């Protein structure tokens, strides 16, 4: 990624307004790339990079330089990467149309509503969008693009079962580094206002008057897990609130917790299993079934995405794509140390070349004088 510092007197909004009313001196917009006749504005690329900087507190020039250097970017390569994302987005639209792949507005809205449901109210949702320097319409566009890509991938790339070798390779990695000591659990959830019932049910469980699974089916407000005896699966494959995780960490297999209060209410938690990784994993069947299913989905998804990237690259090679040279004085531009070193090296090379040319000229003059001297001797 690359960056330059540009002091802009006018805001982009003011400049656009002036152009719309036909103020003289307003030139055509700068184009970063053209994809099958569709132009990608340089301003679009600049805005994306500037928004990324703002979101990551990289507006300070030194912090920006450090980020670029540490991540192996130059201003040019950063711009190229940003442009490439838009190029692929346009090509996916074209390929989707060719393959009769569409995304319904209702599906996009459902995804947006699902995300919004994670926030307390619309104000909190709008604040989250603002912190990401994004409007809700822009978020919808991103969701649509993601869904379109997923649908296109499913159309052009056939899903295949992962090989046993691939599964075993990933199983060894997860088993040793992520899953060793993982715990499986079930819970019974009560409303925050119903602590009395929660205490009574806990006492019945501890006294052996009711089984945990039966109590979950009868009392739990988490209807999704209640029918399965309160089963919520392995902690390494799911995300739980911190209060739940902290309580589960203290439980051994078959132990039941005291009441645990979280934002969802009161939980009674039972640790139903613990996974201890073997010293040597030689076959996938040594893992619990849920972990095997997770691996199959992950590896299959990874392989499919890799094949789709290869497919998209070939599609891109056959498409008409033109990338414009990077303009001067982009607002995200900064001179990196390697740029300065390259410039200094170029200057030294120029000086050396000039000196070399001088030496060659002197040699030629000397040779010419010698030839003239020889001619004079012969004439004598």
Which tokens go with 150? Answer: 């997923």
pLDDT at residue 177, rounded to an integer: 83
Print pLDDT tens along the chain (380 aa).
333 332 332 233 333 333 333 333 344 589 999 999 999 999 999 999 999 999 899 999 999 999 999 999 999 999 999 999 999 999 999 999 999 999 999 999 999 999 998 888 899 999 999 888 889 999 999 999 999 999 999 999 998 999 999 999 999 999 888 899 999 999 999 999 999 999 999 999 999 999 999 999 999 999 999 999 999 999 999 999 999 999 999 999 999 999 999 999 999 999 999 999 998 999 999 999 999 999 999 999 999 999 999 999 999 999 999 999 999 889 999 998 755 555 555 555 555 555 555 444 434 433 444 444 344 344 43
pLDDT at residue 364, rounded to an integer: 41
Q: Which residues contact 218 (CB under 8 A, 6 or more apart)?
A: 210
In sign, the C-alpha dihedral spanning 76, 82, 85, 89 is negative
Q: Which residues contact 70 (CB under 8 A, 6 or more apart)?
A: none
3-state helix, strand, coil in the chain (%, to 5): 60, 10, 30
Single out the residue of 326, 325, 327, 322 nearest to residue 39, CA to CA. 322
β 31-35/38-41 pair status: antiparallel
Q: Which residues contact 31 (CB under 8 A, 6 or more apart)?
A: 39, 40, 41, 42, 324
Angstrom distance (rounded) from CA 321 to CA 222: 52
pLDDT at residue 144, rounded to an integer: 95
Residue 181 backbone zone (phi > 0: left; psi -120 to 50: alpha; other: beta): left
pLDDT at residue 342, rounded to an integer: 54
Question: Long-range contacts of range 254-263, CB-CB < 8 Å, 24 or more positions apart?
Answer: 256/202, 256/205, 256/206, 256/212, 258/202, 259/195, 259/198, 259/199, 259/202, 261/192
φ, ψ at 121 (rounded to 5°): -155, 180
């Amino acid at each position: 990624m690359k960056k330059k510092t540009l002091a802009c007197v006018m805001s982009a909004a003011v400049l656009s307004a002036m152009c719309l009313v036909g103020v003289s001196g307003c030139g055509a917009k700068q184009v970063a790339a053209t994809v099958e006749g569709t132009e990608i504005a340089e301003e679009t690329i600049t805005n994306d990079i500037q928004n990324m900087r703002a979101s990551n507190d990289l507006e300070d020039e030194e912090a920006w330089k450090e980020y670029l250097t540490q991540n192996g970017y130059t201003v040019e390569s950063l711009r190229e990467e940003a442009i490439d994302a838009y190029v692929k987005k346009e090509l996916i639209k074209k390929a989707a149309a060719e393959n009769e792949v569409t995304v319904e507005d209702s599906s996009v809205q459902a995804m947006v509503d699902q995300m919004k449901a994670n926030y307390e109210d619309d104000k909190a949702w709008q604040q989250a969008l603002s912190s990401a320097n994004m409007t809700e319409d822009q978020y919808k566009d991103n969701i649509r693009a993601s869904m379109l890509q997923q649908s296109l991938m499913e159309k052009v790339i056939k899903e295949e079962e992962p090989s046993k070798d691939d599964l075993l390779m990933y199983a060894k990695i997860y088993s040793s580094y992520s899953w060793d000591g993982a715990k499986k659990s079930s819970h019974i959830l009560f409303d925050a206002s119903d602590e009395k019932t929660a205490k009574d049910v806990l006492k019945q469980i501890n006294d052996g008057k009711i089984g945990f699974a039966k109590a979950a089916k009868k009392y739990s407000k988490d209807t999704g897990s209640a029918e399965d005896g309160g089963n919520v699966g392995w902690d390494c494959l799911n995300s739980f609130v911190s209060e739940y995780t902290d309580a589960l960490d203290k439980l051994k297999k078959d132990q039941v917790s005291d009441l645990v209060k979280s934002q969802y209410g009161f939980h009674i938690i039972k640790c139903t299993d613990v996974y201890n990784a073997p010293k040597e994993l030689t076959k996938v069947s040594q893992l619990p079934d849920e972990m095997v299913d997770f691996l199959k989905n992950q590896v299959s998804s990874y392989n499919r995405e890799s094949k789709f990237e290869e497919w998209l690259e070939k599609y891109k090679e056959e498409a008409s794509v033109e990338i414009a040279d990077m303009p001067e004085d982009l607002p995200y531009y900064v001179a990196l140390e390697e740029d300065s070193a390259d410039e200094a090296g170029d200057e030294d090379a120029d000086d050396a070349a000039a000196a070399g040319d001088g030496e060659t000229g002197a040699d030629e003059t000397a040779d010419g004088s010698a030839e003239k001297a020889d001619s004079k001797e012969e004439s004598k």
